[in-house]
């Protein structure tokens, strides 16, 4: 009988039970990891890029720089293809405006392509 991990394929000489499919726990975990990557890999990649953008924008927001130019965003590596869906909010004056967000950071991009935190 051989290990069912396609990366291993060792012969299992000593079997603890007849139902045993993998030579050790590492092989079993690796097979399950590969299966999850195949099924949900695009979601994991999306979330990784979202967290990357979030940490960059959080640092820029904490510096309180005011409007952030397109060049600054690009030099820091922010990718605007990975955002949450835009949402409409009503500001203090009762004006409805479209706001982009990443997790809890809300911002708008004005006509000069500058990012302004809300």
Give residue-wise pLDDT tens across range 52-65.
999 999 999 999 88
- For the chain, which residues make up each domain, given as ranges? 25-117
- Cα dihedral 13, 17, 19, 20, rounded to 10, equals -50
Q: What is the pLDDT of residue 62?
A: 93
CA proximity to 77, closest of 46, 103, 54, 61: 54
Q: Which residues contact 2 (CB under 8 A, 6 or more apart)?
A: 9, 10, 11, 12
Alpha-helix residue ranges (DSSP H) falling in 7-96: 25-63, 70-76
Average pLDDT, the chain: 87
Produce one character per residue of 71-93: b if its CB has 16 or more CB atoms within 10 Å, e if not.
Answer: eebeeeebeeebbeeeeeeeeee
% residues pLDDT > 90 (the chain): 24
Q: What is the pLDDT of residue 15?
A: 65
């Amino acid at each position: 009988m051989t290990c069912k991990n396609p990366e291993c394929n060792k012969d299992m000489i000593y079997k603890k039970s007849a139902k045993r499919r993998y030579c050790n726990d590492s092989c079993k975990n690796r097979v399950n990891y590969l299966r999850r990557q195949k099924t949900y890999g695009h979601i994991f990649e999306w979330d990784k890029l979202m967290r990357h953008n979030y940490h960059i924008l959080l640092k820029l927001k904490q510096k309180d720089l005011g409007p952030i130019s397109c060049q600054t965003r690009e030099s820091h590596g922010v990718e605007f293809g990975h955002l949450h869906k835009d949402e409409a909010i009503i500001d203090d004056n009762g004006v409805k405006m479209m706001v982009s967000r990443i997790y809890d950071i809300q911002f708008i991009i004005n006509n000069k392509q500058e990012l302004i935190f809300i």
